[in-house]
Amino acid sequence: MQDTAETAAEAPSTPSPSPVRGSQLRQRLVDCGLALIEGEGAGEAGLSLREVARASGVSHMAPYVFFQSKNDLLSAIAAAGFRMLLGDLEAAVLRAGASPRARLIELGLAYIDFGLARPQLIRLMFGGRIPLSERSEGLRQIHGQGFMATVAIIEAGMKCGQFRQGDAFVAAFSGWSLLQGFSQLVLGGELQEKVGASQQSVRTSAQKVIETFLNGLDA
């Protein structure tokens, strides 16, 4: 027994894990908020700072160190969503090559893929849930970047003669409205009889819709 006691005394104790603080804790809260919005399928309506704290394994007061209100937390979640979307859009544009038309097709498909995979998040990002006056600075800065990238692609197409001359901003707005509308109709089951229910059939129909839109831009 003495040897066992001495061995235990000599063995180094395992240090307890350091608590997550600062930017790491803030990121954990945002990540848990993202998971709750999509995982429970109830969207942001049932989300609360207390619920995010519980899911993050911290005290119910911890989120208030970083977020003054629920809308402040939702702004951070929406901004994270926009960063994810931008990453998908940028990767799609790179895959498409140099052609503005091909870039718009891939960008549009990437947007639809994102929206169908994360319906609650896309509604938070574009559904007007967070009033303009309550959006965080981070959300304000990233909110229109994907749209402006679309404008730049259309302008490049007009400049090289692939697209007819016109207002690139209006064209981009029309295109984004089309993508958002198509996504919402698919999510609502309105197009199932027309396009089918499989991911591939939806994607094929989405490409046809995007190409039909681009026919109106072609020079």
Q: What tens digit of pLDDT does each residue of 130-170 get?
A: 888 888 888 999 999 999 999 999 999 999 999 999 999 99
**Cα→Cα distances 196→50, 162, 212, Å:** 40, 32, 19
Predicted local distance difference test score (pLDDT) of residue 2: 47
C-alpha torsion sign, points 8, 10, 15, 16: positive
Options 1.10.10, 1.20.1530, 2.60.40, 1.10.3470; CATH for 20-67 is 1.10.10
How much is the pTM? 0.83
Query: For position 23, what pLDDT does the model report?
Result: 78
The answer regarding whether domain 79-219 maps to CATH 1.10.357.10 reads yes
**What's the pLDDT tens digit per position in 34-57?**
999 887 545 566 688 999 999 999
32 CB neighbour count, 10 Å cutoff: 22
Residue 42 is classified by DSSP as S
Phi-psi region for residue 51, left (φ > 0), alpha (ψ -120 to 50) or beta? alpha
Long-range contacts of 158-165 (CB under 8 A, 24+ apart): 160/100, 161/219, 162/99, 162/100, 162/101, 162/218, 162/219, 163/100, 163/101, 163/217, 163/218, 163/219, 164/217, 164/218, 164/219
Residue with tokens 């951070």: 76
| SS3 at position 163 | strand
Torsion of CA 67, 71, 77, 82, to 10 degrees: -130
Ranges of residues in the chain with a pLDDT under 70 are 1-22, 40-46
Q: For 14, phi and psi rounded to 5 degrees?
A: -80, 120
For residue 25, what is the DSSP state?
H
pLDDT given at position 74: 92
Q: What is the pLDDT of residue 18?
A: 38
pLDDT of residue 46: 67
Domain assignments of the chain as residue spans, ordered by start: 20-67, 79-219
